[in-house]
Amino acid sequence: MPQIISKGYKALLAEANAVVDTIPASEAIGLAGREDVVLVDLRDPRELEREGKVPGAFHCPRGMLEFWIDPESPYHKPVFAEDKRFVFFCAGGWRSALSARTAREMGLKPVAHIAGGFGAWKEAGGPVEPVVPRGKPEGSAKS
């Protein structure tokens, strides 16, 4: 007998977007580089190598988010203890909506996420820099 899902991803996304501030990429571009804002890139390392990264963004793979936010975790990252606004993004805005909600539920404030994610960031003309894959010499990343 197949497992019955009581709540699908669409419902989870709708719930997350109802409680989390969602900002357009054009607004997020204006926040980049501000001392009171941390852009948090949730994409996995392969996505960064393939697509590039937002200059100055803090990389937190989605699977580590809860562990890096929680100060009681042995994996805690001090950036999440700073008194700043955290703006999450992923490739298309789904993981970031769920992550921003989780971060908010864990007590991180204020949080937001970028509508359309990194794809929207690029379309809006946001800066992107290449990522050199680990173990490869500088200058070998694809342009």
Domains of the chain as residue ranges with CATH: 11-123 (3.40.250.10)
In the prediction, which pLDDT does 143 show? Answer: 43
Return the HEC string of 55-68: CCCEECCHHHHHHH
Position 138 scores a pLDDT of: 56
Cβ–Cβ < 8 Å for 52, 128 = yes
* Tens digit of each residue's pLDDT (9 = 90 or more) over 33-62: 999 999 999 999 999 999 999 999 999 999
What is the pLDDT at residue 6?
A: 85
Strand partners, 85: 37
Q: What is the pLDDT of residue 142?
A: 47
pLDDT in tens, 106-120: 999 999 999 999 999
Q: 111: which strand partners?
A: 86
Order of strands across the sheet that contains 85-89 = 21-23, 111-114, 85-89, 37-41, 58-59
